[in-house]
Amino acid sequence: MKRYLAPIAVMAACAAAVAADLKSSLQVGEKAGYFEVHDVTGPKAGNDLCYR
């Protein structure tokens, strides 16, 4: 059991270090760019739309 604890502790420490640098979304003050969606319902169903 003890031989498994050291590798698990190392992996947990590495995961914590990587997670500290991770930015998963827009930061405060940043603006979202455009993105395209494929409309599947409503009057424009079947069309690709650009949202800004």
List the chain pLDDT tens, one digit each, 52 residues.
667 777 787 777 766 665 667 788 888 899 889 999 999 999 999 999 998 7
Two structure tokens written together for 33: 């760019």
| Residues counted in the chain | 52
Domain boundaries, the chain: 25-52
Helices (H) and strands (E) in the chain, counts: 1, 2
The pLDDT of residue 24 is 81
The residue whose two tokens read 């003050």 is 29
The pLDDT of residue 19 is 60
Q: Which residues contact 46 (CB under 8 A, 6 or more apart)?
A: 38, 39, 40
- Alpha-carbon span 37 to 52, nearest angstrom: 11
pTM given for the model: 0.38
